[in-house]
Amino acid sequence: MSSSTREEVLRHLNTVGLLQPALHQQTHAPAPTEIDHTLYRAYTRTPHDVGGEPDVPIVYHEKEEEIWELNTFATCECLAWRGVWTAEERRRKQNVDVGQTVYLGMPYYGRWLMTAARILVDKQYVTLTELHNKIVELKERAKSGKGLGEYLPAKTK
């Protein structure tokens, strides 16, 4: 069997999956009386990493950590060592406060990094204006080709 046949067959199976009937139900702007206890509990459910919820199967990808990911982890640990947050505050911010869409859609260490910036603003270590100004400054420096500073390659594990 040729590989183009496999491609066609697999594409076909995938396409058929997309055509499966779905339950279409209006979910926007319900009247308060439409929210019974079951829906209330579902809406106030917090995203979490403790498991036990049904979902479709996803492909498991093995991925080597990148330098920015390791640096992000180290930054977050330093914030803990210096007492800026506990692991539980970090988890709450990076799992719950971001909302389900971001929780499932943003790369794992992307959420860590975003949350590190967020805790510094929330606890008034930096103002949002200072953070925004820094982002503008770094964007301009990157555009000018001067680089963003020393970037050390990861040491071998």
Partner 1 sequence: MSHKPVYDRTHHAKLATGIGDPQCFKGMAGKPKFKEGDRVRIKDLPDLFYTRTMTYTRGAVGTIVRLVYESPAAEDEAFGNEDHPEWFYSIVFTQKELWPEYSDSFSNDTVETEIPERYLEQA
Give catalytic residues, as residue numbers.
108
The set of residues, in sequence order, having a beta carbon less than 8 Å from that of 115 and lying 6+ positions away, is 76, 90, 93, 94, 97, 98
The rounded distance, in Å, linking the Cα atoms of 46 and 95 is 8
The torsion angles phi and psi of 68, rounded to 5 degrees, stand at: -65, -30
Contact with partner 1 (CB under 8 A) among 63, 82, 146, 157: 82
142-151 burial: b if 16+ Cβ within 10 Å, else e:
eeeeeeeeee
> How many residues in the shown chain lie near partner 1 by CB under 8 A?
23
- Residue whose CB is less far from partner 1, 10 or 86: 86
Where does this chain touch partner 1 (CB under 8 A) — which range of 3-11, 56-64, 91-99, 135-143? 91-99
- Residue whose CB is less far from partner 1, 69 or 118: 118
Q: Which residues make up the interface to partner 1 (CB under 8 A)? A: 41, 44-46, 48, 50-53, 81-86, 88-89, 91-92, 96, 123-125
